[in-house]
């Protein structure tokens, strides 16, 4: 048969004949329905406030070379000889003051779970059970590796990794992704993965922040002179080495100010949580609130746009330490505006961002699940 005759014969074959379902062999192992997974990842939490629980958590956190960019030969004796002797007690005291006693866990764990449940519900309303949402902590429990395996075991052959840090930094976003990639390195059958980029300038994120400010201030019996956006600090050398975190924080503060439409200077930014003798990103939060009080700005509101959920840095450091510094310098009224946490504005924004980043995956997952239901071979 010549080539012309061959192709003519091929055209006579119906496509539907080719695509008929192929039944699984009788001895084929069970195969879960194919889905898409979403893993929300936050920083981490100790399991309790006692010395040894805090020490385990801090050791894991402060041993990460992305967090502490100091040669191990120099850092290891300092960490194990000094910091892990003194800091667990102080940190445990701070955590104890904000601990969720009802659940016996840190607020960060409580809120991150609620965020995951909210995002899961929003996506289920749109896509049924074709998308599975889980959550994990980079340091502590629940750990990232087992969460990825759980998603894989539920049929998720594609997973979206979502580090819950609005502003990218190698010390946060990158190390969360690193931990996920370490799990992938141990898996014979890896799922395909994507990562959610920084969302420091996403309109939905800025809008949710602005609404939280407006709601909070409307409930006060006074009008703050200044809104201070306090971000977690970072050694300045990290910026010098190319970390974009500082630029992203400044942009978030600028966009928030523009969205609020307030007069210039009423929204300011600063950086908190520094330790050690090295220079960190400036201006420092504690010094800034002191300067504001001395300059006659005696009524201020503080917001923490770098945190997706309230934690020890916001509930203890800002509400106690930063407030005390402000009041001691002559301040009169201090209010903290909570993180977006699991407020509906935030949950819907997170779900919308997830759906955008799942572009081409969600519809594909639904189509694959339909084919699996027709008993096609899936392995």
Does residue 248 have a pLDDT over 60? yes
- The more confident residue out of 26 and 375 is 26
Where does the pLDDT of residue 29 fall: very low under 50, low under 70, confident under 90, or very high at 90 and above?
A: low
On average, the pLDDT of the chain sits at: 91
Q: With 80 as the cut, is the pLDDT of residue 20 above it?
A: no
What's the token pair of residue 168? 């990218």
- Lowest-pLDDT range, 64-73, 254-263, 334-343, 357-366? 357-366
End-to-end CA distance of the chain: 36
Average pLDDT score over residue span 362-375: 53
CA dist 155 and 129 (Å) reads 11
> How many whole angstroms separate alpha carbon 345 and alpha carbon 126?
17
* pLDDT tens figures, 195-210: 999 999 999 999 999 9
Q: How far apart are CA 194 and CA 361, in angstroms?
A: 10
Q: What CATH number should be reported for the domain whose range is 203-337? A: 3.40.50.1400
**What pLDDT sits at residue 371?**
47
pLDDT at residue 375, rounded to an integer: 44
Phi, psi of 228 (to 5 degrees): -105, 120
Give the model's pLDDT for residue 373: 45
What angle (nearest 5°) sits at the alpha carbon of residue 213, between those of residues 228 and 235?
Answer: 35
Q: Which residue bears the tokens 């002191």? A: 290
The stretches of 40-127 forming alpha helices (DSSP H) are 51-62, 72-78, 84-98, 107-127
Region 93-97: what's the mean pLDDT? Answer: 96
Which residues are annotated binding-site positions? 232, 313
Same fold, 35-198+344-360 and 203-337: yes
| C-beta atoms surrounding 92 within 10 Å | 22
pLDDT tens-digit map of 31-52: 667 899 999 999 999 999 999 9
Q: Is 35-198+344-360 assigned to CATH 3.10.129.10?
A: no
> What percentage of the chain exceeds 70 in pLDDT?
87
Give backbone dihedrals phi and psi of 254, rounded to 5 degrees, phi first.
-65, -45
- Boundaries of every domain in the chain: 35-198+344-360, 203-337
Q: Which has the minimum average pLDDT: 34-43, 253-262, 370-379?
A: 370-379
**Lowest-confidence region among 2-6, 165-169, 237-241, 244-248:** 2-6
The string over 279-294, giving b where at least 16 C-beta atoms fall within 10 Å of a residue's C-beta and e elsewhere, is ebbeebbbebbbebbe
Average pLDDT over residues 182-188: 97
How many other C-beta atoms can be found within 10 angstroms of the C-beta atom of residue 263?
Answer: 8
Q: How do 131-140 and 35-45 pair as beta strands?
A: parallel
Q: Are 368 and 360 in contact (CB under 8 A)?
A: no
Contact 162, 198 (CB under 8 A): no
92 pLDDT higher than 80? yes
Over residues 69-83, the mean pLDDT reads 93
Q: What is the pLDDT of residues 314-345, one digit of tens each?
A: 999 999 999 999 999 999 999 999 999 999 99
Query: Would you list the DSSP string of 132-187?
Result: EEEEEEEEESSBHHHHHHHHHHTTEEEEEEEE--SS--IIIIIHHHHHHHHHHHT-
- CA 159 vs. chain centroid, Å, equals 16
Annotated binding residues for Fe(2+), as ranges?
A: 232, 313
- pLDDT band, very low/low/confident/very high, at 24 (cuts 50, 70, 90): low
Sorted by sequence, the CB contacts under 8 Å of residue 105 that are 6+ apart come out as 45, 47, 99
């Amino acid at each position: 048969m010549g080539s012309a005759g061959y192709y003519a014969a091929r055209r006579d074959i119906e496509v539907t004949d080719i695509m008929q379902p192929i039944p699984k062999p009788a001895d084929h192992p069970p195969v879960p329905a194919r889905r898409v997974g979403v893993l929300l990842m936050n920083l981490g939490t100790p399991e309790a406030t006692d010395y040894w629980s805090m020490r385990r958590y801090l050791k894991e956190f402060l041993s990460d070379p992305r967090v502490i960019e100091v040669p191990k030969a120099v850092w290891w004796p300092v960490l194990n000889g000094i910091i892990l002797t003194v800091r667990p007690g102080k940190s445990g005291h701070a955590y104890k003051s904000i601990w969720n006693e009802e659940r016996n866990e840190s607020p960060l764990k409580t809120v991150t779970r609620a965020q995951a449940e909210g995002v899961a519900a929003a996506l289920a309303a749109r896509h049924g059970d074709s998308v599975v949402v889980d959550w994990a902590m980079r340091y502590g429990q629940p750990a990232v590796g087992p969460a990825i395996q759980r998603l894989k075991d539920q049929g998720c052959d594609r997973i979206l990794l979502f580090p819950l840090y609005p502003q990218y930094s190698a010390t946060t976003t990158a190390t969360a992704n690193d931990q996920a990639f370490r799990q992938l390195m141990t898996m014979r059958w890896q799922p395909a993965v994507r990562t959610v980029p920084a969302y420091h300038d996403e309109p939905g994120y800025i809008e949710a922040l602005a609404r939280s400010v407006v709601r909070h201030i409307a409930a006060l019996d006074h009008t703050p002179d200044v809104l201070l956006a306090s971000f977690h600090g970072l050694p300045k050398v990290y910026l010098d080495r190319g970390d974009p975190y500082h630029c992203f924080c400044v942009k978030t503060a600028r966009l928030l100010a523009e969205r609020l439409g307030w007069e210039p200077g009423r929204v300011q930014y600063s950086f908190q949580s520094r330790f050690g003798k090295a220079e960190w990103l400036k201006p420092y939060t504690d010094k800034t609130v002191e300067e504001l009080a001395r300059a006659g700005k005696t009524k201020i509101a503080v917001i923490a746009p770098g945190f997706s959920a309230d934690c020890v840095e916001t509930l203890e450091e800002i509400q106690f330490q930063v407030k005390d510094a402000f009041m001691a310098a002559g301040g009169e009224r201090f209010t903290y505006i909570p993180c977006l946490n699991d407020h509906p504005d935030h949950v819907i924004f997170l779900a919308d961002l997830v759906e955008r980043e799942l572009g081409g995956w969600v519809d594909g997952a639904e189509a694959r699940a339909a084919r699996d239901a027709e008993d096609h071979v899936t392995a």
